[in-house]
Amino acid sequence: MKSRNGAIFVLLLVISLLVMSCSAGAEAQAETAEPVVVEEYVPTVSVTGVVVPARWASLSVNGSGVVEELAVAEGVEVEEGEILLQLSGKEQLEAAITAANLELIGAEQNLQDVYDNSELMTSEAQFTMADAVDNLDDTEYHWQVQQEGYRADGEIIARAEANLVLAQNQVDRASSAYNRYSGRPNDDPSKALARANLADARLQRDSIQRNLNWYLGHPTEIEQAVLDAELALSEARLLVAEQEYQLVEAGPNPELMDLAQARLDNARASLAAAEQMLADSALRAPYSGTITTIYIRENEFVGPGSPVMLIADLDSLQIETTDLSEIDVPLVKVDSPVTVTFDALPELVLDGTVSSIAQKASEGAGVNYTVIVQLESMPEEIRWGMTAFVDIDVDSEY
């Protein structure tokens, strides 16, 4: 019995020593352990966005006509003021400007002549009137032969129509010949020759068709405007010349001086109008950027206001949100920090800030507000139109 009690006493003593040892170890570990740092929670609003340029525009021409020259291609960088597109009729417009410049020079000289020499002015007025009559005759003839029904006589039209029938027959024959080789590979010499003959036949037919269309057609809107402007200018020149001659027969007078000044003003206005028409026949880059999309081709007709291409400043991309709801928008502030990731570039994480918040909801489903995010850096992998995921740090106590 005593030995059993002694054993129990020894066991309890050992247990007490082990407990004391563990307690001391725990206290020592507590004294040496690193303090746990709890990161502060930052509330965020998560939305989806899209990469867009800070500046881009859909370009259109002010005039109308056929695209004579498309001076750029998609992806080309252009400078501000660079010609992107030229409509047809440039030569006629330049001729109108030349005529307007000549008229301006004449008007300036005429005003000086009023001061200098009445006799010389009378002689010049006679010459100017005769020249204006000839010019008006030429202009009226040029105007007439450009109108529908006056471009060619019946024999020319009949010959063109007959040539078109023959050309179409040639196309049909060339097409049949080419079809006989349809089963052969493209590098077969006989098939290549037949294909070339078919292309030549189509080109010849299309050329005849264009000539016939011109014979039967009428001036384009811009061509008619040029013709009308030239005719109006010639009529005005003749009217002014006749009035000047009548006035200078008796020598210079205040009314003649006023008329000379009015002619000068009209010449300046005509020149400005002609220069504007030439400017409207070309499309120039409104600022430096990249042509990202072209909607038209050469020899295609375009009208004023119709989109022809897109230009964008791809050096200044930004993020534009698409689904920031009316519930979350009050939490967002200008200059709020932003973290951006991209669906197409999962390893890329960029920092940025909110630069602007829309005052009006965007059109479409739901009530959403657009927020613009400026990124601190712009890697070259980023492209216009990429989907972005935006986490905006917000004030949770709003």
pLDDT above 60 for 377: yes
Q: What is the structure's pLDDT at 141?
A: 85
**Averaged pLDDT, 278-298:** 91
| Residues 263-274 pLDDT 10s | 989 999 998 998
The domain ranges of the chain are 1-38, 46-54+316-393, 56-87+281-312, 93-280
What is the C-alpha to C-alpha distance for residues 78 and 311, in angstroms, rounded to an integer? 9
Cα separation of 370 and 368, whole Å? 7
**Sign of the CA dihedral 93, 98, 104, 107?**
negative
User: Which of 276, 246, 25 lies closest to 129 in space, CA to CA?
Assistant: 246
Averaged pLDDT, 204-230: 82
Predicted local distance difference test score (pLDDT) of residue 3: 34
Verdict on whether the full-model pTM lies above 0.75: no
CATH number for the region 56-87+281-312 comes to 2.40.50.100
Q: What is the pLDDT of residues 104-118, one digit of tens each?
A: 999 988 888 777 766
Per-residue pLDDT band for 126 (boundaries 50, 70, 90) equals: confident
The fraction of the chain above a pLDDT of 90, given in percent, is 38
130, pLDDT greater than 70: yes
Only one residue has tokens 């019995």, namely 1
Is 108 exposed, middle or buried (CB count within 10 Å of its CB: 0-12, 13-18, 19+)? middle
Give the model confidence (pLDDT) of 235-268 as tens digits: 888 898 888 888 777 666 677 788 888 998 999 9
Look up residue 184 and give its DSSP letter. Answer: S
Task: Tell me which residue of 3, 29, 58 sits closest to 292, measured CA to CA.
Answer: 58
> Using one digit for the tens of pLDDT, what is the confidence trace for 22-35?
454 545 444 544 55
Which CATH architecture is the domain 46-54+316-393 placed in?
Beta Barrel (2.40)
